[in-house]
Structure 1
Amino acid sequence: MLGKLNEMQMEELLKKQVTGRIACTDAGVPYIVPVNYVYDGKQVIGHSTMGKKIEMMRKNPRVCFAVDDIKTIFNWQSVIAWGRFEEITDIAEKEQAMMAITHRLMPFAEKPANHPSHGLSEREDDIGTKLDLILYKIVLVNKTGRFERN
């Protein structure tokens, strides 16, 4: 059976997952990349270092975000959301965003000390000194969800 997810089901899926994909475009060229994230009920919060994704989203902040829960090819659910990239520059908001990301992702990290590039580390001096993390949010303006069940 194919169907549409209702608002509550879409919210649940966005909050449950930790990895999604951001699609962005520059000069008509699409680019999609997996990202770790946390969802606060209004926006997707993520982090990155400087690279193609950040460069493209700075040029064109209109993006699409997708997340899935795939159990089998006939048992899955998916949310596609459209939104606007905003780089987080306020220090207090950056700290809150990084704390939310760390608390959400840390349970999935086997050895956090090995992942300072994700802002996950047992050593505070690893974070922010060896690389510059860019914190951002995708403010969602519309979303749709689908599912299939046996």
Structure 2
Amino acid sequence: MLGNLGKKQIIDLLQRQVIGRLGCHANDETYIVPINYVYRNDSIYAHSGSGKKIEMMRINPKVCLQVDEIADTFRWRSVILWGVFEELNGEERQQAMQAIIHRIMPLTNKPSEESSHGIDVDLHNNLIVYRIRITEVTGRFESHED
């Protein structure tokens, strides 16, 4: 059976997962890249070093994100959301970075050796922390219960 996810199911999926595929478009080019994220307060929070995705989102802040939960070919849930990229600064940046660290670091095999999520102070200070303010969201599922 194919169906639509309800609002609570969409939020639950976004809260359970930590990896999504971010789509951005600028200068007649579309770019899709996986990101680690945290969902809070109708927004997606993430971070990145400088690079193509940040450059493109600065040019065109309208983005989309796909998040999946796949058991097998015929049992899955998928959410696609659209939103607006906003860079964060000050206290808001710090709170978002702490939320990302607290959510993602426990999922690593060797958290003490992983500096890419803000443990390294120099790297942390150079990261771009951003929010995607969700403007639209949709969710679908497929399941085949016996």
> By the TM > 0.5 criterion, same fold?
yes
Matches within 5 A, 1:92-131: 92-119=91-118, 121=119, 126-129=120-123
Residue 129 (structure 1) shift: 4.9
Q: How many Å separate the matches in 2 of 1:21 and 1:41? A: 20
Query: Mean alpha-carbon deviation: is it higher for 105-114 or for 132-141?
Result: 105-114
Structure 1, unmatched stretches of 5+, are none
Identity across aligned pairs (percent)?
Answer: 50
RMSD: 1.3
Q: Give yes or no for contact 2:2–2:143 (8 Å, CA) kept in 1.
A: yes
Matches within 5 A, 1:1-150: 1-89=1-89, 91-119=90-118, 121=119, 126-129=120-123, 132-150=126-144
Structure 2, unmatched stretches of 5+, are none
Q: Structure 1 residues 143 and 129 mapped into 2: Cα distance closer, same or farther (>3 Å)?
A: closer
**Secondary structure, counterpart of 2:139 in structure 1:** strand
Q: How many Å separate the matches in 2 of 1:17 and 1:98? A: 17
Instruction: Tell me which amino acid in the other structure corresponds to 2:42.
Output: K
Instruction: Tell me which amino acid in the other structure corresponds to 2:95.
Output: Q
Query: Mean alpha-carbon deviation: is it higher for 130-139 or for 60-69?
Result: 130-139
TM-score when normalising by structure 1: 0.92
